[in-house]
A and B are shown apart, each in its own frame.
Chain A
Amino acid sequence: MKHFRKLTIPYIVWCVIFILIPLLLIAIYAFTTGGNEVRTLNFTLSNFAKINEATYIKVFIKSLELGFLTTGICLAAGYPLAYIISRAPEESQDMLIMGVTIPTWINMLLRTYAWMNLLSDNGIINTLLGMLGIDPVHMMYTNFSVILGMVCNFMPFMIIPIHTSLRKMDHSLIEAAMDLGANPFQTFRRIILKLSMPGVINGVVLVFLMAISSFVIPKLLGGGQFVLIGNLIESQFISIGDWNFGSAISLILAAIILIALRLMKKMDLKEVEEN
């Protein structure tokens, strides 16, 4: 059992330098005041107290809402796609998964700009609608445009892990379940969904994280009035220069995510145990 243990040593060193120390820097900022000079440390909790204000709480709620919505849509739309791909002939599977991956290699900002051109008031979609005699639809700078942009950008990260776990699933189990009298719904819930749970959890976590902390997509597709946690943190660091407050918000965001993740992990463990 002891073989290969030493393989972790390089990464332990790496973790200390590139994860723990930077995190410590952020934590120091979150619990201190005194501008941006680390030399003048004054312990305080006021950065956290500041968050307890209607406006900021609203930002948190809105971010969570959008995060859940985006993740839900990605899951609802991505799961069937991952399933269909996993049932395709072996040769097509790789092509299809590649097809899902390629868009993510094209710059994210660039794809977002393309959406801006598609959705804007005088944009491509409205021009086409106009040709059909339909009145222009206002799409830019709304919840719709932001969620659309996020779903388009993040859905591959839902599909790939789900597909990975569906692919390795033994399909004879499905046949066995059906033979034993399970209806399609039961088969799906008890066998397919259960076996693909690790992939689902991976995908949900990944998409939720990206959705809740993204700031470029809301900024470009939602306009400046679209303030999510990510935008709040960005503005504290970049335009306002209140690194202490920004760090405090980051820590709270990390805490929320940590709790969500713990819940997910528990579900994952339960699944494993039940199996």
Chain B
Amino acid sequence: MRKYNGFWARLYIAVCFAFFYLPIIVTVIFSFNSSKSLSHFTGFSLRWYSALIEDNEIVQAVYVSVTIAVIATIVSTILGTMTAIGLSRSRKVLKDAILSINDIPILNPDIVTAISWMLLFSSMGLAKGYFTMLLAHIGFCTPFVITSVYPKVRSLDPNLANAAMDLGATPVQALTKVILPMIKPGIFAGILLAFTMSFDDFVISYFVTGNGVKNISIVVYNMTKRINPIINALSTIVIVVIVAILIVVNLTPRIVEKRAAARRAARDAAGAAAIESSGDSGIYRPSEHRHRRIGAGALIAVLGIALVAGSYAAAKKSSSSSAGAVRELRVYNAGEYMDLSLLDRFQQEYNCTVIYETFDSNEMMYTKLLAGDQYDILVPSDYMIERLIKEDYLQPIDWSLISNKDAIDPNVMDKAYDPGNVYSVPYFWGSVGILYDKTVVDKKDLKDGWNLLMNTKYKGNLYMYDSERDSFMVALKALGYSMNTTDEKQINDAYEWLIRQRRTMDPIYAGDDVIDNMISGNKAMAVVYSGDAAMIMSENDKLDYFEPPEGTNNWYDAMVITRDCRNVGLAHDFIDFMLQEDVAEQNTAYVGYSSPVKAVYEKMQKGTYAGIDAYVPRTGYGKDEIFGYQDTDIKKLFAQLWTKVKAQ
């Protein structure tokens, strides 16, 4: 039993650490990659590091993550330790009650806790942002501190504190001189756990934040469409800083300690008898010195990062927005759906601040609105705009303020979701189709249309889009029905089609990760949006885009102004700005989706996206449709059926 630092033990540690660090090593290596690829190393470069310093959003996110983690850790450690000590002295009923309640946030799935706090903050009328995120972080860290401190307190002999007080110590002295030193390991475990939980949290932060306050996780999540290697550079810096400081903190005292080793050894020997007799009750050991030092070192490290990032962020902010700029515009757009440098330009030209937030899906955006979050401009899709109009969330556009009105292609105006464009100004538009690998998929098989996705030759070689409306659109169109059908038999047929496809074809229901997967050529086929297809095709020339003859979804995303918009004039300025020819051109070139500005759309077909047919979605085809508004029952039916398909 003594040989636990032998060869096998070392090997085992090495294997485990290799496993833990493999993804991190990959991250570090690819932070030096000269291209955007995350699986093929094309050469050494520092471009992502220089891009990092330039990236305002990430610098701000570092500041938010670190300061929130530090404050939440400090507050929750104090609150949790106080409670744990108090509980050990409380009556059993109260103790059990509090401990059970304390378990709830730990037990509940993050998503439920997140939703419940979102509801709470909305009903309390708190403006969502830094403060609500901080409250939530304290809220989920404290229970963890209590669970790690309380067992330590419980294992303490209660007579120790009483003895101290009998000997004349005040309660405060008994607390700081007797209890706290003995439960220190528990407190450090709590600190470590709280900091880790807070620093790494995504789900809860995502729901309780607002007004453009983002932590690192939220920024990373928003990058899912196109993973941004800048974040690899950031992680690498975080790792290097933490490791460097730990080494310094650990090595310096070790040298000092070696000198004192002899003295300490003598003292330990003397104390050994006492330790033995008092058994296992959190004896103060020399190692805890080091424990504390590590904690302190880590704290200094993160405070250092926070300070640097914070002052940098502050400096950036003050330089980017000149004095006296109080005009604000809150824009809520889909993720990776705008060239963000355009925002900087808008802020400068119009002397204002844009608070830019992104959503994952139209439904996500709707949930946020329902929970009472406020925005000035939204960029939803057609059917969601129809819903928002019906539910009175929007205000009409004052077209006299849109000077670039005539630049808009009349073909993308006046659609069924908003006849006469009373409420909406087109942002991007396109279709849905099949992106396929020309070297794998036989051209002759394309005649099957959507049923190509049922061809067992390509079993296990395709991605479907993980969204109920898009998947049911494919099935309904393949069966020759309208994608807006409310006929339960037709819907059921489509459900059967999808189930059959699931069984025979083994498709992957992918989200935006389909983009990176198709660029790397992982599978032969994917159902994608035209703009994503255009972007993917510009990176992988083996692919082609195909709109099946049974018809497809013609979709339009448009800018709308909310009913409770605080600066209607500025909102119109923003919409007008996005339609400006050079702005629209830069945006469409960056995102890959088809521009509603006619001149830009035509120019792109000859320039950046020449030869890429996905940039030119099919128009005027009788079998193509636009999604319409679904009433709640039909929407639920589709959603539940889709859940069933996926959960097969």
Chain A positions within 8 Å of B, measured between CB atoms, are 1-12, 14-15, 17-23, 25-26, 35-36, 55-56, 58-59, 77, 80-81, 83-85, 87-91, 93-96, 98-118, 120-124, 127, 138, 140-141, 152, 155-156, 160-161, 164, 167-170, 172, 174, 178, 184, 187, 195, 198, 202, 206, 209, 212-213, 215-216, 219-220, 223-225, 227, 229-230, 232-235, 237-243, 246-247, 250, 253-254, 257-258, 261
B38 touches A209 (CB 8 A): no
Q: Assuming the A-B contacts A8-B82, A102-B239, A233-B111, are A156 and B4 also in contact, with contact meaning beta carbons closer than 8 angstroms in the complex?
A: no
Closest to A7 in B: B86
B101 touches A224 (CB 8 A): no
In the assembled complex, B225 has its CB within 8 A of some CB on chain A: no
Contacts of B19 in A (CB 8 A): 152
Contacts of B21 in A (CB 8 A): 103
Stretch at the interface among B199-207, B343-351, B545-553, B554-562: B199-207
A127 touches B106 (CB 8 A): no
In the assembled complex, B618 has its CB within 8 A of some CB on chain A: no
A184–B469 CA distance with the chains assembled, in angstroms: 61
A17–B19 CA distance with the chains assembled, in angstroms: 41
Contacts of A105 in B (CB 8 A): 195-196, 199-200, 238, 242
A241 touches B291 (CB 8 A): no
Q: Assuming the A-B contacts A56-B647, A172-B276, A250-B108, are A8 and B294 also in contact, with contact meaning beta carbons closer than 8 angstroms in the complex?
A: no
Stretch at the interface among B322-330, B517-525, B620-628: B517-525
Q: Assuming the A-B contacts A84-B13, A107-B220, are A170 and B119 also in contact, with contact meaning beta carbons closer than 8 angstroms in the complex?
A: no
**A164 nearest CB across to chain B (Å):** 6
Binary A-proximity of B14-41 (CB < 8 A = 1, otherwise 0): 0011011111101100100000001110
Q: Assuming the A-B contacts A35-B632, A116-B513, A240-B639, are A168 and B290 also in contact, with contact meaning beta carbons closer than 8 angstroms in the complex?
A: no
Closest to A169 in B: B280
In the assembled complex, B457 has its CB within 8 A of some CB on chain A: no
B250 touches A95 (CB 8 A): yes
Contacts of A9 in B (CB 8 A): 86
B199 touches A19 (CB 8 A): no
Contact with A11, one of B39, B79, B135, B276 (Cβ below 8 angstroms): B79
B363 touches A238 (CB 8 A): yes
B139 touches A18 (CB 8 A): yes
**B146 nearest CB across to chain A (Å):** 8
Contacts of A202 in B (CB 8 A): 147-148
A241 touches B363 (CB 8 A): yes
B200 touches A107 (CB 8 A): yes
In the A-B complex, the 7 residue pairs with the closest CB atoms:
A224-B509, A224-B466, A7-B86, A213-B109, A22-B116, A114-B23, A8-B86
Contact with B290, one of A2, A91, A225 (Cβ below 8 angstroms): A91
A215–B516 CA distance with the chains assembled, in angstroms: 21
Contacts of B635 in A (CB 8 A): 240-241
Contacts of B290 in A (CB 8 A): 90-91, 94
Contacts of A187 in B (CB 8 A): 1
Contacts of B50 in A (CB 8 A): none
Contacts of A243 in B (CB 8 A): 115
Chain B: interface residue total (CB-CB under 8 A): 135
In the assembled complex, B441 has its CB within 8 A of some CB on chain A: no
In the assembled complex, B231 has its CB within 8 A of some CB on chain A: yes
A250–B364 CA distance with the chains assembled, in angstroms: 19
Q: Which residues B610-648 have CB closer than 8 A to chain A?
A: 632, 635-636, 639-640, 643-644, 646-648
A254–B100 CA distance with the chains assembled, in angstroms: 12
A55 touches B103 (CB 8 A): no
Contacts of B102 in A (CB 8 A): 15, 19
Closest to A164 in B: B189
Q: DSSP majority for the B interface?
A: helix
Contacts of A1 in B (CB 8 A): 89, 158, 162
A selection of 11 A-B contacts at a CB cut-off of 8 Å is A21-B120, A84-B13, A103-B21, A104-B196, A104-B200, A213-B110, A224-B510, A232-B643, A240-B643, A254-B107, A261-B107
Q: Assuming the A-B contacts A6-B86, A18-B117, A239-B361, are A216 and B203 also in contact, with contact meaning beta carbons closer than 8 angstroms in the complex?
A: yes
A19 touches B101 (CB 8 A): yes
A207–B193 CA distance with the chains assembled, in angstroms: 13
Contacts of B220 in A (CB 8 A): 107, 109-110, 113
Contacts of B370 in A (CB 8 A): 36, 241
In the assembled complex, B151 has its CB within 8 A of some CB on chain A: yes
B101 touches A81 (CB 8 A): no
Q: Assuming the A-B contacts A90-B286, A90-B287, A93-B287, are A117 and B238 also in contact, with contact meaning beta carbons closer than 8 angstroms in the complex?
A: no
Q: A15-B102, A87-B5, A141-B508 are in contact. List 11 more A-B contacts (CB 8 A).
A: A10-B82, A21-B120, A55-B643, A93-B287, A106-B27, A110-B235, A122-B521, A168-B185, A168-B282, A206-B106, A220-B513
Contact with A4, one of B86, B467, B502, B648 (Cβ below 8 angstroms): B86
Contacts of A83 in B (CB 8 A): 4
In the assembled complex, B246 has its CB within 8 A of some CB on chain A: yes
A123 touches B39 (CB 8 A): yes
B112 touches A26 (CB 8 A): yes
Binary A-proximity of B67-86 (CB < 8 A = 1, otherwise 0): 00000000000011011011
Contact with B280, one of A23, A122, A168 (Cβ below 8 angstroms): A168
B111 touches A15 (CB 8 A): no
B115 touches A99 (CB 8 A): no
Contact with B151, one of A101, A198, A212 (Cβ below 8 angstroms): A198
B217 touches A124 (CB 8 A): no
Contacts of B26 in A (CB 8 A): 114, 117-118, 124
Contacts of A174 in B (CB 8 A): 1
Q: Assuming the A-B contacts A18-B139, A93-B287, A223-B509, are A2 and B23 also in contact, with contact meaning beta carbons closer than 8 angstroms in the complex?
A: no
Q: Which residues B390-417 have CB closer than 8 A to chain A?
A: none
